[in-house]
Amino acid sequence: MKFINRQFELDFLSRKWQEDKAQMIIIYGKRRVGKTELSVHFIKNIPHIYFLCERIAPHKQLEKFTKAVSEYFKDPFLPQEGFKDWETAFRYIAGKNSRMAVVIDEFPYLVESDRGIASTFQKAWDLYLKTSKVYLVLLGSSISMMEETALFYKAPLYGRRTGQLLVKPFKFMDIKEMFPSKNFDEILATYSVVGGIPLYLEKFYKKNYIEGIKDDILRKGEPLYEEVEFLLREELKEPRNYFVILEAISLGKHKISEIINETGFDKGTVSRYLSILDNLQITKKEIPVTEKIPEKSRKGIYIIDDNFFNFWFRIVFRNRSLLEENKVSDVVKITENIMPELLADNYEKISKDIFQKYVFEKKMDLRFELYGRWWDKNGEIDLVALNRERNAILFGEVKWSNKPVGIDIYRKLKDKAKSVVWGKDNRRQYFCLFSKSGFTSEMLKLAKKENVYLFHKDLYL
């Protein structure tokens, strides 16, 4: 699968390179998101040293780095045992006065082997690198460790970085570009299973989603079969407890009180674990979008925001006994039964992107600053968007069913909108409907009369 859809990141890195001065760029993001591919793609046509850290002793890391530096500068006189420390290594590189990129991948592994390494890098930057032509790039999959060493206020490298990139999974619209020969339903199904992680998407490139699930996720021995367990063990000290919480959410326990009752953990423990899972971009706390002070809202619910984690817990984890007996066909049937629900959930999730793309392409003055869901004890609305400056609000209903959406759905949405307390009395209201199966002729006529935005899958009507 070709390298695509990272134009913003590449433009940012290129702009920094063109400044022709010392740079310290931090690139971070969850595992498998494509940080290495991005950096390798960027440096392929510029002078560079690429160094991948490993979980080995600190002196072994330096030996390997010495070899890389020696090969780059064609210097056979570098000491065979390696640089005595990283400060010496960077002094050597800076002294060459050469415009070059030095990419250190999986920087957290280096930190694990030497807790003082960030301070060493700080000193090397202050003494040698900041006045050089070196373009230093530090990559890391451990978001928390990258924040602790480089991004937070008290981090050793805070104030030294000249740029940072949080590489995120691809959005649904990006994935459409990756699979130009596949239809909307197939792409949505793939997205619902593996989300926007490039490594996972690549496995589905030449398969339909059921084949991909059967071949690459449900079979023992395949990497994705145990991928979630590996990622949790890699990132967390007590993975078993996080498993319990994620399983509870996958079972439909979304309120913190429900998670407490399901897991048996106290509130403090659950809150702490959820905070870490949120930081890892695995879970997400959702608040009704109209809440004035979201951090103090008591209406928050927790969802598994990572599509692959959500699928894995609902299908693989829950049917492990069948899969361990190689009864893959039985689990495929279970998967096919649950897919309509996953498709509906994810169609709702991408409705914001569909609407925003339409507004952008049509160059419409219809921008909203906040998008989300709304609910109270009496009902919920799939999509609500706000623009405080214009006192404008958008209401949307999303239907993934085999029945065309009719006037009744629209009228129910208008009734629910009356319950949403937001804005001044003269607020501007907009309505949009999203449908898998199109709209009735009556709804099409009414939409033209009342300026309702209609989307059949991702196409505006």
Please name the amino acid found at residue 297. S
DSSP 8-state secondary structure symbol assigned to residue 312: I
Map residue 25 onto helix, strand or coil.
strand
Residues 226-242: pLDDT tens digits? 999 999 988 888 889 99
The pLDDT tens digits for 130-165 are 999 999 999 988 777 777 777 776 778 888 889 989
> What domains, with CATH codes, occur in the chain?
7-166 (3.40.50.300), 173-345 (1.10.10.10), 365-460 (3.40.1350.10)
Token pair recorded at residue 359 = 């507004």
Sheet of strand 163-166: strand arrangement: 48-52, 100-105, 134-140, 23-28, 163-166
Query: In terms of DSSP bridges, do strands 283-286 and 48-52 run parallel, antiparallel, or are they unpaired?
Result: unpaired
What is the pairing mode between strands 428-435 and 163-166? unpaired
What confidence score (pLDDT) does residue 72 get?
Answer: 94
Residue of 36, 40, 58 whose CA lies nearest to 49: 40
Distance CA 150, CA 155 (A): 5
- pLDDT of the residue at 3: 63
426, two tokens = 């003269």
Which H helix or E strand runs over 31?
none
DSSP H or E run through 139: strand 134-140
Predicted local distance difference test score (pLDDT) of residue 156: 81
At residue 279, the pLDDT reads 87
Distances (CA, A) of 367 to 8, 357, 418, 430: 21, 11, 22, 12
Residue bearing tokens 């780059």: 72
**Residue 357 near residue 453 (C-beta atoms within 8 A):** no
Closest CA to 170 of 162, 179, 157, 183: 179
Report the distance separating Cα 74 and Cα 64, nearest Å: 15
pLDDT value of residue 86 = 94
Query: Average pLDDT per run of 10 along the chain, which is 461 residues long?
Result: 77 94 92 92 95 92 92 84 88 94 93 87 94 94 74 78 91 90 96 95 92 96 94 86 95 95 94 91 95 87 96 96 96 97 96 94 88 93 96 97 96 96 92 97 97 95 82
